[in-house]
Structure 1
């Protein structure tokens, strides 16, 4: 596991992530429990995207100064492609979050805190998974074929399941959590624990946080190998993944209000997974250029989003689930 990234780029990245989380917590505490409006979500999404692109510019300059302009351009393209892939795959993740919140009737004012905690957990777990994945690839090159086949099969499965409503009640993680801890029938503000009939038990909000965490781990199994199909540099994999995660909360509130309009996105994501899996399996025969991969991902997303908007009034599909 080796990266050409200068040490100062690692330090800037770490400082940025810590500061971003601190600012997020301060803003969250100051605002208290409140429903995030679509305009607010759009503003924060724009801010996170702008910060990610600014860091990509810094990354390009850092690599170019240390290793030459060609390396700088390559690494910047790898970051942008990995970031876009992670953002794309996060869309399906967001639809599942929406399903969880709907199923448990989580008040909109409490959803922001749940997602904040979920983001912190995702950063920790994904960092560990990325490091493990990088070590496996460096030690066992053939595992790239396993990752590629897994992504392609996942994409095919996602395509066939795109029109099916997910059944949270049969989710094994939910069944396990209910067995492990008694849950109160009611929320108690933003608290995770409450007293019911004199006994200290979990609130539904704690159950929701645990399910969001489980969901992110499951989706990380898809998204992390997908970025390794673009680059073997652990620095690019980690930074593009984390920057995409930092903007996940704002992206959720923005897309949740428009879920029905993008009902075909699952098909597009399925095609992207199959493409990336195929790219990974062909890596020793023909390495598809990063710029081509970026163009394919953007093209697929653009087509599915435009077609979703055009057909939304006629189909009116949605991935929400009524309780």
Structure 2
């Protein structure tokens, strides 16, 4: 069942490009740090995070289906974090006719902003050594968001993540509406598990498309500084309006008109950004505000250093690959944890 800002988007949206792609373990052949965990033993969950039964591990805490010595677990982004991502994705799937979704159509309720708020604000999932959230975000982001690192992490964890999500979905329960109006919990059936995996895949694939457009269409990202300037003009217009409160009516009218024009200019740029993404990405079901949220993040990332546009491109491709793997399991039924 479900568990229960703009300025600090970076660490959370790494989840869009990275966590959702489940590309989080270092295996690029570089020298390992003294604190890096190697071997197959599962790390303990972060302090304050309640451990969950994890079907990807056997009774000894070792990953199923892996040859001994084949997996190194990263000290910065441990398996426990990746496993929590699969839990969080699963928690937002509701079949039709359930207590949370009594309609006749299944829903997947997770958005990218929610994802950011969960992982971008809670740093205990990661193995950073910073004492403040800002420093932790910077450390984690710089560690992960490089083309080579993304590719290496994806190679190591993508398939295990897909298997983990499929197994958990097969054992997940939801409360379904009975004919008399009461509710009864039961595990998801095979059709619902496949539906869940397909909806998660669609969520990932749409994120991948937006990332890819950001990497390939320079105009999309170049419009963001223009948008920020337009937003500042709106703030300036409001400030001017407030200073005119004690003046005559004509000055107030002019100040009000200035606000209106500034807002129209800002929103026109916003719609231009979203429209450009939709044209290049093809059909997207996500709302405009979700698209713009991702693009704002991408704009900040490509100004933070060289190679970041390439990282957006690589992240989009890897995210799409994970979506394809999930769709393959959903189509073929291999690896489902249903009885």
TM-score when normalising by structure 1 = 0.28
Which is bigger in relative contact order (C-alpha 8 A, separation at least 6)?
1
Provide the TM-score with structure 2 as the length reference.
0.27
Q: Which has the larger radius of gyration?
A: 2
